[in-house]
A = this chain, B = another copy of it.
Amino acid sequence: MPALRFRQAIVAALTDEMSADPTVITFGEDIAAAEGVFKATEGLLATFGPERVRDTPISEMAFTGAAVGAAMMGMKPVVEIMFIEFLGVALDQLVTEAAKMRYLSQGQYSVPMVVRASSGSGLGFGCQHSQTLENWVAATPGLKVVTPSDPQSAYSLLRASIADPDPVVFLEPRILYAERGEVDFNLKMKLGQARVLTTGSDLTIVALGNMVNVSKAAIAQSGVSADLIDLGTIVPWDRETVLNSVRKSKRLIVVEEAPLSGGWGSEIIATVTRELFSSLVSAPFRITTPDIPVPFNGSLEAKFAPNAADVCRQILESMKNNSVPDAWWVSEGVAK
Show the binding face of A for B, using Cβ within 8 Å: 61, 85-86, 88-89, 91-93, 95-96, 99-100, 103-104, 127-128, 133, 135-136, 138-142, 235-236, 258-259, 261-267, 269-271, 273-275, 277-278, 280, 282-286, 291-293, 324
Contacts and interface: CB of A to CB of B under 8 A. Distances in A.
Contacts of A292: 103, 141
B88 A95 contact: yes
A194 B103 CA distance: 37
Contacts of A262: 135, 138-140, 235, 264, 267
Nearest to A273: B273
B88 A96 contact: yes
A269 B292 CA distance: 22
Contacts of A266: 266-267, 269-271
A66 to B, nearest CB: 16
A89 B266 CA distance: 27
A273 B267 contact: no
11 contacts: A88-B93, A91-B91, A100-B127, A103-B292, A133-B139, A135-B138, A235-B261, A261-B267, A262-B267, A270-B286, A275-B283
A100 to B, nearest CB: 5
Contacts of A103: 127, 292-293
Contacts of A271: 266
> Which residue among A85, A139, A259, A269 has the maximum number of chain B CB atoms within 10 Å of its CB?
A139
A235 B282 CA distance: 27
A141 B289 CA distance: 11
A292 B143 CA distance: 11
A284 to B, nearest CB: 6
A142 B140 CA distance: 23
A93 B135 CA distance: 17
Given A91-B88, A96-B88, A135-B262, A274 B270 contact: no
A285 B293 contact: no
A316 to B, nearest CB: 18
Given A261-B235, A264-B262, A270-B265, A85 B96 contact: yes
A286 B285 CA distance: 17
10 closest residue pairs by CB, A with B? A139-B262, A88-B92, A277-B283, A266-B270, A269-B270, A266-B266, A138-B262, A135-B139, A88-B91, A141-B291
A277 B291 CA distance: 23
